[in-house]
Amino acid sequence: MKNVYFSGISNIGDELNRYIWPAVLGSVMEEDDRAALLGVGTLLSEDFNRRTADCDKVLVFGSGAGYGRAPAFDARWHFACVRGRHTSRLLGLDDDLAVADAAYLLATLDWSRQADTSAGVVVIPHHSTLGYVDWAHLCAEAGLTFLSPTLPASEFFQRLTGARLVLAEAMHGAILADVCRIPWVPFRYGQDFLEWKWLDWTEMFDLKVEIAAAEAFYDPRLHWTNRGRAFHLGRQFKRLAVDRGLGRAKWKKIVPPGDSQGAAGARMVGFLEGLARQEGYLSSDHILSSRVDELYARLNSLAQRHLQQDAEPLAGPARALFG
């Protein structure tokens, strides 16, 4: 069966698919390329789902929608569950199919944490903004620990489980913190942040979250380095103009230039310091347990109906799964 997910970049949310499905479904993941499995990620879009065009069967488990147009479904598609009600309603599915993000299958593993929470407060940006600014410098200035979502899974989780609080622009950074029972604080950076998918997830856990917005900028020494000074000044002018009610509406999406080690960086450091003083969010143990139980019930039903086998629940220490 094809394990279909966003690939080509090393991003922890997408990479989870490489570990979860072979562990719970076994060798069937290597045997039949005529079937596709859509699992962890915001995968339900017309553009992305062209990857399943040659498949006789498409199985959906815990995926979400939100990027681009919704795909057209036919008799090949079989839904075990989706990430949340926002996804089910956008796709015209029954709300009973809204359960949780598939990454919560990991909650049955042993996530024993380091007693000294040595990493303190960690910051997980979205992979798409890593090249905008010097995150390592900004986090160090704020007395926090930068945790890149592009690290190998074993290293990522080793650092994550040593945290006492997680500040996350990356949604799966927050979901994985929740799985590990570490409080998390969401924030948005830039103009492409998709709050819709966060609500799709969090509302299934009865969480009402407020997402703070950082003053986004890009550092010309790191991003668009092949552009001249006039280009960066032009972007700065357009953003200043639109902030004063002038210029074109599309200029509102422009991220202006700034210096990671200058005034813009100092404001970002202050923003992160403020987030680090919050208590953070955490789903209740009861709701978490209920959602995870339902995910495994749906997974076993999917495996029996479409793969003629039982699913194998994840168990044991998490480090054994990720190496």
* Token pair recorded at residue 157: 């989780």
Same domain flag for 209 and 288: no
Both 92 and 204 in one domain: the answer is no
The range of the structural domain enclosing residue 182 comes to: 120-219+258-276
Shared domain for 91 and 143, answered yes or no, is no
Kindly state whether residues 58 and 82 are assigned to the same domain. Answer: yes
Q: Are residues 180 and 94 in the same domain?
A: no
The CATH number of the domain holding residue 126 is: 3.40.50
Q: Do 86 and 127 share a domain, yes or no? A: no
Residue 252 placed within a domain: no
CA 69 remoteness from chain centre: 19
The total number of structural domains that make up the chain: 2
pLDDT, residue 115, reads 47
Question: Both 140 and 272 in a single domain?
Answer: yes
In a domain, 7, yes or no: yes
Q: Name residue, tokens 């024993």.
A: 112
Which secondary-structure segment (H or E) carries 167? strand 163-168
- pLDDT, averaged per 10 consecutive residues of the chain (323 residues), comes to 84 94 85 86 90 91 91 92 97 96 97 67 94 95 97 93 96 97 94 88 97 92 91 91 87 89 95 97 98 97 90 92 86
Q: What is the Cα–Cα distance from 80 to 102, expressed in whole angstroms?
A: 11
**Does some domain include residue 205?**
yes
Task: Name the amino acid, one letter, at 272.
Answer: L
Decide if 136 is inside a domain: yes
Alpha-carbon gap, residue 206 to 92, rounded angstroms: 22
13 and 134, same domain (yes or no): no
Tell me, yes or no, whether 113 lies in a domain: no
Domain identity same for 291 and 268: no
